[in-house]
Amino acid sequence: MTEQLAPMPEDWQRALAVVAHPDDLEYGAAAAIAAWTDAGKEVAYLLATRGEAGIDGISPAEAAPLREREQIASAAVVGVTTVEFLDHRDGVIEYGPALRRDIAAAIRRHRPELVVTLNHRDTFGDTFWNTPDHKAVGRATLDAAADAGNRWIFPELVEQGLQPWDGVRWVAVAASPRPTHAVDATAGYERAVRSLLEHRAYIEGLTDEDPETYARSFLDEMLSANAASFGGRPAVTFEVFPR
């Protein structure tokens, strides 16, 4: 018998999603975010970079504002109107205190109960090597959930008026190879497709396939992959770290 995924906790009001690049949340997690905003929850996005190194045929100087616009539009599709960018450098984000401090500052500003990030582990699935940026931001986000609550770790944040926030109850890691929880993707599916399609310049740089065909086939496969562990329903999965 397949081990079942638990439903995600629902007794929270504010979430902050922290990822490395524009499009990271649109490869699946957006279907869960749509369900959350439908339920009246507030979700904000924090992007470590503007994804400026993500399109082979477009220089970083041109790609940064383009991808920023695409990210803001894709967030709006799933009911997210707060999208912030940290301006770390795409492709070479460094894990360390500077990144932890930037994320901890955002956690103190937004005071979320749930923090969402993208896979911090070495691989997607068993065999696809993850990128350094995803690993750095995922790990720093897991760490920053605790840093945000300790006034002595980044005292300069208190001097800037950012009081400690020790209210993060869970960090949920999307697309982890070790999922523990899931959200039913049925209600959010169409908006997840449209939110991914807002990254049109990125998708057109990635594939010659029709963008909508590409988006639907990717999301269909991703969201059905764990259905057998979630009562047969399409599932956005998370590895949840309680705090």
Taking Cα atoms as reference points, which of 109, 106, 138 lies closest to residue 25? 138
State the nearest-atom distance from the C-beta of 134 to Zn ion, in Å. Answer: 6
Q: What tokens does 88 get?
A: 């770390």
The closest of 233, 225, 232 to 179, measured between CA atoms, is: 225
Choose between 24 and 184: whose C-beta lies nearer to Zn ion: 24
* Site stretch for Zn ion (CB under 5 A), options 24-32, 148-156, 177-185, 224-232: 24-32
| Residue 135 near Zn ion by CB under 5 A | no
Q: Quick check: 21 binds Zn ion (CB under 5 A)?
A: yes
Residues 6+ apart with CB under 8 A from 164: 108, 148, 149, 150, 151, 158
The Cα 135–Cα 140 span in angstroms is 8
Q: Which is nearer to Zn ion, 24 or 239 (CB)?
A: 24
- Shortest distance (Å) from residue 17 CB to Zn ion: 13
Nearer to Zn ion, 21 or 50 (CB): 21
> Taking contact as CB under 5 A, which single stretch among the options 19-27, 108-116, 168-176, 230-238 is the one that binds Zn ion?
19-27
Question: How many C-beta atoms lie closer than 10 Å to residue 153's C-beta?
Answer: 17
Listed in sequence order, the residues at least 6 apart from 98 whose beta carbon sits closer than 8 Å to its beta carbon are none
Burial class (CB in 10 A: 0-12, 13-18, 19+), 92: exposed
Convert residues 25-64 into a mask of x (bound to Zn ion by CB under 5 A) and - (unbound): ----------------------------------------
Between 45 and 154, whose beta carbon lies closer to Zn ion?
45
Binding status of residue 24 toward Zn ion by CB under 5 A? yes
Give the footprint of Zn ion on this chain (CB under 5 A).
Answer: 21, 24
